[in-house]
């Protein structure tokens, strides 16, 4: 009897979970590799068991979907069809002629590494928040919108007692509602986009009544909690000495400039700010997968242009949990068929494909409307830190462009060290590109995360010995 084909799924969020279940149900031996101690990803993030949360479902919507995924995973693990590796931080995926080796650092210490062998790999690596600097953004009490949500979901804690939620995008409403429901006073929700722009896309929006209903529910909750919503406004500065004490909010004109005389202060001890999401593409870049802009490029089956590598979820384009579920199911069905030398039947994922097409169209509209103000860089003072890891101010980036002739993000990095710190530019790269007036560019890193030298020394035949990766 021949061995079952092996699939390594990297990421146990919505896309990775549903793909793993679909593939395992069709005879594939799946190893689900994830950095978190529990499955669910950022969207289905759960409180630690020791906290004794009585109603964890209150922190989520789509709870029943999560229960089905969780129970399905448990059943496949018991049956031996899925191996779930928690607290495994993938730092490299190595490809040879016959298979793949997924290298991961173990546990919180991340000082030991293991390799998982597989015949195919699914990258379900999710996304992360886009952070744009402004004066005072490094003060304690200023967190990302997703960070505030994660603190609430996993730790049952609030970032502060009086919060302002600001930036742009669909994440702001659930974050504001979640904080208010947990007992925080949300002094304001500040959205830089103009909701009237959605009117131009009425046809697309009308095709998704569930999304419109979801938005209406959040709006009703904001009203119930007395949260004031300011559209076409932005936070221009955060103020405080040892920690956040207030923010300055201002109205924007149609060109994205602050309207003169429109500023006012809002006292608060926490600011949850987000300017959209970006896909995690480090592992895809290391494997040499083609990118479409900032997203991993895939075909109708979620295959990348690297044989044996699929991608699904936020890595292929930001679109929320529903789109991730649709893409994950398509990827899982495709992988199961292709590893068995079959072409998947279109009818097997027709429903998911239809949902994917509609949701991609919907979120393209959201992405078009909910963009940071065009003139945001003009409000970043020269002394504002842009790269916090290396403490690089905006003045250094402007000098690199205006006086030293830098014409791309890589050259700015070499001249200023912006992006050379612990996060390797994941947080500051969009801001550096915006201030420099350069398009963001992919950087093919040999490793997706910092790796101890001892790990590399113990793997003489691993990726560290590959000059083509370095």
Question: Model confidence over 142-193: pLDDT tens digits?
Answer: 999 999 999 998 888 899 999 999 999 999 999 999 999 999 999 999 999 9
Average predicted confidence (pLDDT) for the chain:
90
- Asked whether residue 347 carries a pLDDT value surpassing 80, the answer given is no
- Asked whether residue 469 carries a pLDDT value surpassing 70, the answer given is no
Q: How far is CA 360 from the centre of its chain?
A: 16
Q: What is the pLDDT of residue 154?
A: 83
**Which is more confident, 409 or 462?**
409
Q: How far is CA 254 from the centre of its chain?
A: 29
Q: What is the pLDDT of residues 109-147, one digit of tens each?
A: 888 899 999 999 999 999 999 989 999 999 999 999 999
Task: Report, in this order, helix, strand and coil percent for the chain, each rounded to 5.
Answer: 35, 20, 40
Q: What is the pLDDT of residues 272-329, one digit of tens each?
A: 999 999 999 999 999 999 999 889 999 999 999 999 999 999 999 999 999 999 999 9
Q: What is the pLDDT of residue 1?
A: 36
What gap in Å lies between CA 276 and CA 364, rounded to an integer? 13
Q: What is the pLDDT of residue 135?
A: 94
What gap in Å lies between CA 432 and CA 377, rounded to an integer? 10
Residue from 6, 1, 109, 103 nearest 469 by CA = 103
Question: What pTM was estimated for this model as a whole?
Answer: 0.92
Q: What is the pLDDT of residue 97?
A: 79
> Confidence class of residue 467 from pLDDT cuts 50, 70 and 90?
very low
């Amino acid at each position: 009897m021949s061995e079952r084909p092996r699939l390594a799924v990297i990421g146990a969020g919505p896309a990775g979970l549903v793909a793993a279940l679909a593939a395992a149900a069709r005879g594939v031996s799946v190893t689900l590799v994830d950095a978190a101690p529990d499955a669910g990803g950022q969207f289905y993030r759960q409180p630690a068991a020791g906290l004794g949360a009585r109603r964890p479902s209150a922190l989520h919507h789509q709870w029943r979907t999560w229960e089905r995924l969780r129970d399905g995973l448990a059943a496949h693990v018991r049956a031996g069809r899925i191996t779930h590796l928690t607290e495994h931080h993938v730092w490299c995926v190595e490809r040879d002629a016959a298979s793949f080796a997924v290298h991961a650092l173990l546990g919180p210490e991340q000082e030991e590494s293991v390799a998982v062998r597989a015949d195919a790999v699914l990258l379900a690596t999710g996304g992360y928040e886009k952070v744009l600097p402004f004066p005072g953004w490094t003060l304690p009490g200023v967190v990302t919108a997703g960070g505030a949500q994660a603190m609430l979901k996993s730790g049952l804690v609030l970032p502060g007692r009086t919060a302002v939620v600001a930036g742009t995008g669909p994440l702001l409403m659930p974050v504001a509602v979640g904080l208010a429901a947990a007992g925080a006073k949300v002094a304001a929700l500040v959205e830089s986009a103009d909701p009237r722009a959605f009117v131009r896309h009425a046809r697309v929006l009308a095709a998704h009544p569930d999304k419109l209903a979801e938005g209406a529910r959040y709006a009703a909750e904001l009203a119930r909690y007395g949260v004031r919503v300011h559209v076409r406004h932005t936070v221009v500065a955060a103020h405080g000495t040892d920690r956040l004490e207030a923010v300055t909010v201002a109205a924007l004109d149609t060109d994205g400039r602050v309207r003169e005389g429109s500023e006012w202060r809002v006292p608060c001890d926490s600011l949850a700010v987000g300017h959209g999401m970006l896909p995690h593409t480090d592992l895809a870049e290391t494997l040499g997968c083609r990118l479409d802009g900032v997203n991993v490029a895939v075909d109708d089956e979620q295959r990348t242009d690297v044989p044996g590598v699929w991608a699904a979820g936020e890595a292929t384009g930001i679109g929320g949990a529903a789109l991730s579920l649709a893409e994950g199911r398509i990827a899982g069905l495709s992988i199961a068929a292709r590893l068995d030398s079959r072409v998947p039947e279109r009818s097997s994922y027709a429903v998911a494909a239809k949902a994917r097409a509609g949701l991609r169209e919907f979120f393209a509209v959201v992405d078009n409307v909910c963009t940071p103000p065009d003139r945001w860089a003009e409000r970043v003072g020269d002394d504002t830190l842009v790269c916090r890891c290396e403490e690089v101010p905006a003045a250094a980036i402007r000098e690199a462009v205006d006086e030293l002739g830098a014409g791309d993000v890589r050259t700015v990095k070499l001249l200023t060290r912006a992006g050379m710190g612990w996060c390797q530019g994941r947080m500051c790269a969009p801001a550096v590109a915006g201030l420099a007036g350069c398009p963001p560019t992919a950087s093919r890193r040999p490793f997706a995360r910092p790796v101890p030298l001892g790990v590399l020394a113990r793997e003489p035949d691993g990726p560290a010995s590959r000059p083509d990766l370095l």
